[in-house]
Homo-oligomer: A and B are copies of this chain.
Amino acid sequence: MMALVRPQFVLFGDSITEQSLRPGGWGAALADTYSRKADIIVRGYGGYNTRWALFLLNHLFPLSCPTPPVAATIFFGANDAALLGRSNQRQHVPVEEYKENLRKIIDHLKECLSSMLVVLITPPPVDEDGRKEYARSVYGEKAATLPERTNDMTGVYASECVQLAEELHIPCINLWSQMQQTPGWQKKFLSDGLHLTAEGNNVVYKGVLQVFNNAHLCAEEMPYDFPHHSEINGDQPEKVFQQKI
């Protein structure tokens, strides 16, 4: 089995997606797993909320694209859930709008390719102590005393994300809830109370992989692009390429 063109999986989200290409990141791990099977295209935009993400849709996913991605993860909410009246309020998006923005993103992707596997990922939980420590490490005495995000409020956004996935019958990884089932999640999975450690990245990687596997996008079962070298006849190399291409 072989393929001529590798399918694309796009990871669309905020900083947690943008940073996924770092060593130990979930995007890097997916790229390795799908080596010669699919291209992992990272479209993560640090600091973005769903309202700002809408401005990118037609550019990142033009409706006229002849080869749209076959799968996409949508991973927003950590910034939408920033609280009003706190240091990051510029990023705040009301929860009802967050849900509707996610719906618009999904509608757009399905319009690109109705069979696209669209996977929602909720924001991870917030460790408020970790955020305070981080703020002190950056701003010292001037650090805001009130957290700019709370775990409870982020949980409200996560819950809307899960509900939307159920409504639309698409898969969803409830990271907010899943991570909190592990004792010590605050330091184990989060590096600064919000972004992911290597172990936190691994939770996302495994979650995405499971959804892809369930949706017949299992790397082991996907064809290589072009013949494995052992299939090439040294004396007549053109044969396998002519047959299969």
Q: Interface-forming stretch among A130-138, A173-181, A233-241?
A: A233-241
Asked if A234 and B91 make an inter-chain contact with CB atoms under 8 angstroms apart, the answer reads: yes
Integer count of this chain's copies in the complex: 2
Asked if B18 and A35 make an inter-chain contact with CB atoms under 8 angstroms apart, the answer reads: yes
Contacts of A21 in B (CB 8 A): 28, 31-32, 35
A-B contact pairs, 19 of them (CB 8 A): A18-B35, A18-B36, A21-B35, A23-B24, A23-B29, A23-B32, A25-B32, A28-B32, A31-B31, A35-B42, A35-B44, A36-B44, A47-B229, A55-B226, A55-B241, A55-B245, A59-B245, A89-B234, A91-B229
In residues 26-44 of chain A, which contact B (Cβ within 8 Å)?
Answer: 28-29, 31-32, 35-36, 39, 41-42, 44
Distance in angstroms between the alpha carbons of A37 and B163 in the assembled complex? 35
Contacts of A44 in B (CB 8 A): 35-36
Asked if B52 and A229 make an inter-chain contact with CB atoms under 8 angstroms apart, the answer reads: yes
Contacts of A232 in B (CB 8 A): 47, 52, 90
- Nearest Cβ in chain B — how far from A138, in angstroms? 15
Distance in angstroms between the alpha carbons of A245 and B47 in the assembled complex? 19
Chain A interface, number of residues (Cβ within 8 angstroms): 41
Indicate whether A64 reaches chain B with its CB closer than 8 angstroms.
no
Indicate whether A214 reaches chain B with its CB closer than 8 angstroms.
no
Contacts of A89 in B (CB 8 A): 234
Indicate whether A56 reaches chain B with its CB closer than 8 angstroms.
yes
Specify which of B28, B39, B226, B228 is in contact with A28 (CB 8 Å cutoff): B28
Indicate whether A144 reaches chain B with its CB closer than 8 angstroms.
no
- Nearest Cβ in chain B — how far from A60, in angstroms? 9
Distance in angstroms between the alpha carbons of A232 and B25 in the assembled complex? 27
For the complex of A and B, the 5 pairs showing the least CB-CB separation, nearest first, are A47-B229, A90-B234, A55-B241, A21-B32, A21-B31
